[in-house]
Amino acid sequence: MHIFSPMQALRLLLLPLGWPYALALRVRHALYDSGLLKASSAAVPTVCVGNIALGGTGKTPHVELVLRTLLPETAIATLSRGYGRKGTGFHEVQPDDDSNTAGDEPLMLKQKFSGVRVFVGADRASAVRKITGLVPELRAIVLDDALQHRAFRAGLNLVLTTWQRPWYKDHPLPAGNLRDIPFRARQADAVIVTKCPQLPSTDEQYRWRRRLKLRESQALFFSTMEYEPPRFPGGPAGHVPTGPLAAALLLTGIADAAPLAEHVHGQFGRVRHIAFLDHHAFTPADLQGVADVFHSFAAGPKTLITTEKDAARLGAALVSGPLQGLPVAVIGIRARILNEPHAFEALIQSHVATHPAHR
């Protein structure tokens, strides 16, 4: 006899509430697919990195992967809503913005890719028109999380799902994490299974294709997340002390911190993790609490570790206030394609290079 956990029982109770939501999504998609609702497109190549579920699939590292694939191509732009910022209007992100103005992920992208024009705007169709007007030499726009914005039609769609919880094992909100219907992924040019522990065998890749119900013409890629060595972004010089005698206080405000926490546990002898919700706006009380824990949780060499995304949101708090003087290091997260990386690069590059704007 199977005994349901409290969480499983709650999901079963919530499951019927997701049916009207899924029906409304199907009706909306049908209106766009039939042409009754109109969608605009751009005169320049556009690449959309999106997903079917809520956050935690690794969209931003894959946006970075697309950017690295396109660079050193000049005049590249990114566009996202800018979650966590105040307001929803159109704005070009500057390196000295704060996350209240730009959002944490766009600000992080601007700081990492200084030559890329980074924009935020909730209305993707309107924002794309403004970007093409502002940057007449524009060669491509990479859209972070725009799959559900049917009023704009991207030229190339990449849809992500995780190895741990693919959409065929999930349910619509509120019982599950699906914010869209899995059938929508059939419109993608490529699907990427993210956060893979290793490259699956050829037979397992075929089984994934069947479970995801992909069309023959759709590419299927598998990616993993790689962590860069911790580094001091602008504070004390030298290497971050790691190993069994070193300690780390991990501070995160991301959707799925479990893989990062596991990685940090493998780098330090003692680890404590303070986890906030995704895009959390750190308050002075939060920062004071973090500082108090840091001073007391371990002896010997210790470092406050956070992500690049969280560091962008912390901003000036890293060098003033309760965190002032603490050894704060960041860990970068990179996505890497495990199967046919050259085919992935060719897919992105050919879409941009063969576009009429490049002829």
DSSP label at residue 165: S
Asked whether residue 297 carries a pLDDT value surpassing 50, the answer given is yes
* Proportion of the chain above pLDDT 70, given as a percent: 94
Complete DSSP assignment for 93-151: --TT--HHHH-HHHHHHHHH-TTSEEEE-S-HHHHHHHHHHH-TT--EEEEES-TT-TT
Q: CB–CB of 160/153 below 8 Å? A: no
* Proportion of the chain above pLDDT 90, given as a percent: 77
Closest CA to 249 of 232, 227, 267, 271: 271
Residue type for position 79 = L
Residue type for position 308 = E
Asked whether residue 358 carries a pLDDT value surpassing 60, the answer given is no
Tens digit of each residue's pLDDT (9 = 90 or more) over 153-170? 999 999 999 999 999 999
Determine the Cα–Cα distance for residues 267 and 284; give it in Å rounded to an integer: 29
Determine the Cα–Cα distance for residues 329 and 17; give it in Å rounded to an integer: 43
- pLDDT at 158 (0 to 100): 98
- pLDDT at 11 (0 to 100): 67
Which is more confident, 175 or 122? 122
- pLDDT at 311 (0 to 100): 94
Residue 237 banded pLDDT, cuts 50, 70, 90? low
Asked whether residue 192 carries a pLDDT value surpassing 80, the answer given is yes
Tokens of 82: 């800018």
- pLDDT at 113 (0 to 100): 94
Can you tell me the mean pLDDT for 169-194? 92
Tens digit of each residue's pLDDT (9 = 90 or more) over 243-292? 999 999 999 999 889 999 999 999 999 999 999 999 899 999 999 999 99
Give me the count of residues in the chain: 359
Which is more confident, 219 or 17? 219
Residue 359 banded pLDDT, cuts 50, 70, 90? very low
CATH classification of 46-225+336-358, choosing from 3.30.390, 3.30.950, 3.40.1000, 3.40.50? 3.40.50
Mean pLDDT for the chain overall: 91
Asked whether residue 357 carries a pLDDT value surpassing 60, the answer given is no
CB atoms within 10 A of CB 72: 7
Angle at 18 between CA 16 and CA 19, to 5 degrees: 70
Asked whether residue 27 carries a pLDDT value surpassing 60, the answer given is yes
Tens digit of each residue's pLDDT (9 = 90 or more) over 134-154? 998 999 999 998 899 999 999
Can you tell me the mean pLDDT for 295-315? 93
Q: Listing from the earlier edge strand, what are the strands of the sheet with 140-144?
A: 91-92, 117-120, 76-80, 140-144, 46-51, 156-162, 190-194, 219-227, 333-337
Total-model pTM: 0.91
Determine the Cα–Cα distance for residues 195 and 93; give it in Å rounded to an integer: 29
Q: State the fold for domain 243-331.
A: Rossmann fold (3.40.50)
Q: Can you give the residue ranges of every domain in the chain?
A: 46-225+336-358, 243-331
Asked whether residue 10 carries a pLDDT value surpassing 80, the answer given is no
Lowest mean pLDDT among 12-21, 99-108, 298-307, 322-331: 12-21
Determine the Cα–Cα distance for residues 56 and 194; give it in Å rounded to an integer: 10
Determine the Cα–Cα distance for residues 77 and 80; give it in Å rounded to an integer: 10
User: Does the CA dihedral 88-89-92-97 come out positive or negative?
Assistant: negative
Domain pair 46-225+336-358 / 243-331, same fold: yes
> Rounded to an integer, what is the distance from CA 248 to the centroid of its chain?
24
